[in-house]
């Protein structure tokens, strides 16, 4: 059976094209701000390149969204983690919301974060009707931290992504070559930009040309 990957890469254009209401929504996400630089964008493009090579190597089919990377989450202050990624399993959604249609409308009202890069393969997801906001637990997330990312924002995103029990999440620090790697709540061994990088789902990324010189 041919694999299908759904790739999402962050872009400000999504907000600019949606007028003032979209920019207002962006300003409300102060905790989860976004900043880009030339190096940041080159690293993000390298993640895309790795996915394309995976497509060629495995005969996978990729659906790519370059301007749609808004990942919805829910707040639950009863649990130890006050914010959580959404389990988009059909049975869970119907049990919680009554129907898929009702949930698709509810997605529009949910807060969201903007990972720099994420992939869905095995894990289910649902989009709102305009297909710019996603609910689900990605198979893979990559965040590329910039100088403007605060410690509070970094800790908050790590905690949120850790609620995806089948989500592998990587954190690239632009001032060093170390990549911090997690799978759900489990801390994995760090990786280095000086070597080829392999995810649990088999996608290989090559960031060696962007590694900092020692």
Residue 214 included in any domain? no
CATH number at residue 140: 3.90.1570.10
Would 200 be classed as within a structural domain?
yes
| Residue 213 covered by a domain | no
Tell me if 42 is assigned to some domain: yes
Say if 139 falls within a structural domain.
yes
In-domain check, residue 212: no
Domain of 107 in residue numbering reads as 4-207
Q: What is the DSSP string of the chain?
A: ---EEEEEE--THHHHTTHHHHHHHHHH--TT-----HHHHHHHHHHHHHHHHHHHHHT-EEEEESS--EEEEEE-TTSSSSEEE----HHHHHHHHSSHHHHHHHHTTS-EE--SEEEESSS-EEE-TTS-EEEE--SEEEEEE-TT--HHHHHHHHHHHTT-TT-EEEEEETTSSEEEEEETTEEPPPEETTS-EE-TTS-EE--GGGSPP-
Is the model's pLDDT at 192 over the cut of 60?
yes
Quote the percentage of the chain above a pLDDT of 90. Answer: 49
- The pLDDT tens digits for 64-118 are 776 667 899 998 755 666 889 999 999 989 998 899 999 988 898 999 999 999 9
* Number of domains the chain contains: 1
């Amino acid at each position: 059976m041919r694999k299908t990957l759904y790739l999402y890469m962050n872009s400000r254009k999504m907000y600019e094209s949606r007028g003032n209401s979209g920019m207002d929504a962006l300003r409300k996400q102060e905790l989860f701000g976004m900043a880009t630089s030339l190096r940041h964008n080159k690293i993000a493009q390298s993640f895309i390149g790795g996915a394309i090579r995976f497509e060629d190597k495995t005969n996978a089919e990729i659906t790519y969204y370059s301007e749609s990377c808004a990942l919805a989450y829910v707040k639950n202050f009863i649990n130890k983690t006050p914010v959580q990624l959404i389990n988009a399993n059909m049975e869970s959604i119907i049990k919680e919301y009554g129907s898929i249609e009702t949930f698709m409308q509810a997605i529009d009202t949910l807060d969201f974060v903007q990972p720099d890069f994420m992939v869905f393969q095995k894990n289910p997801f649902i989009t709102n009707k305009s297909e710019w906001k996603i609910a689900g637990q990605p198979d893979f997330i990559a965040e590329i931290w910039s100088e403007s990312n605060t410690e509070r924002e970094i800790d908050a995103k790590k905690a949120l992504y850790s609620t995806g029990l089948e989500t592998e999440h990587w954190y690239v620090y632009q001032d060093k070559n170390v990549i911090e790697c997690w799978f759900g709540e489990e801390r994995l061994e760090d990786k280095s930009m000086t070597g080829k990088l392999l995810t649990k789902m088999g996608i290989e990324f090559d960031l060696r040309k962007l590694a900092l010189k020692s």
